[in-house]
Amino acid sequence: MSRGAPARRRRLAAGLRLVAAAAGLALVLLVFRVPLARAVLPVTRSVGLDGFLFPAASGFLLRVTSLPPGGRLWVDGVDRGTVPLFTNVACGEGQLVRLRVAREGWPPWEREVGCREGQTLIVRARLGKGTP
């Protein structure tokens, strides 16, 4: 037996688990007639990837990280979830979009950015230490 055989078996087992999970999801969607978007949206939101699967008609993709991590992101006053995350921002070219990241015990970080239709904006919010 070659030295790479155990690693090959682990990769094969991981691939088979992935295929089994996808088949299970497909079976649940088929049997219970659940729309794909409704089935995967909570999962994609929980890991911050809803912007990739459900793009906005117009606007830009926003990737936000924060230091320290774990703050909440608001886009134009709408809570988008816990940072770090990816999300789509629907807006028109040139429109100003207000971003706010807040975490308990830290002063909030706020910026206004211009809409960058069809582009990706990467933002790192540095929160200043506040009173705990």
What's the CATH code of the domain at 74? 2.60.40
Residue 65 phi, psi dihedral angles, 5° rounding:
-120, 160
Q: Is residue 52 part of a domain?
A: yes
Clarify whether residues 56 and 22 are in a common domain.
Answer: no
Question: In this predicted model, what pLDDT tens digit does every residue of 85-125 receive, in sequence order?
Answer: 888 888 888 899 999 999 998 999 999 999 888 888 899 99
Residue 62: domain span: 48-126
Clarify whether residues 63 and 88 are in a common domain.
Answer: yes
Q: Is residue 40 part of a domain?
A: no
Clarify whether residues 18 and 81 are in a common domain.
Answer: no
Which of 1-15, 20-34, 36-50, 54-68 has the least mean pLDDT?
36-50
Clarify whether residues 29 and 94 are in a common domain.
Answer: no
Question: In this predicted model, what pLDDT tens digit does every residue of 61-88 receive, in sequence order?
Answer: 899 999 998 899 999 999 999 999 888 8
Clarify whether residues 61 and 122 are in a common domain.
Answer: yes
pTM for this model (two decimals): 0.57
Q: Is residue 131 part of a domain?
A: no
The total number of structural domains in the chain stands at 2
Clarify whether residues 10 and 67 are in a common domain.
Answer: no
Residue 130 confidence (pLDDT):
46
pLDDT of residue 55 exceeding 90: no
Clarify whether residues 69 and 119 are in a common domain.
Answer: yes
Q: Give residues with Cβ within 8 angstroms of 20, minimum separation 6.
A: none
State how far the Cα of 39 lies from the Cα of 53, in Å rounded to an integer. 12
Q: Is residue 42 part of a domain?
A: no
Q: Is residue 43 part of a domain?
A: no
Across all residues in the chain, what is the average pLDDT?
79
Clarify whether residues 97 and 75 are in a common domain.
Answer: yes
Residue 37 confidence (pLDDT):
53
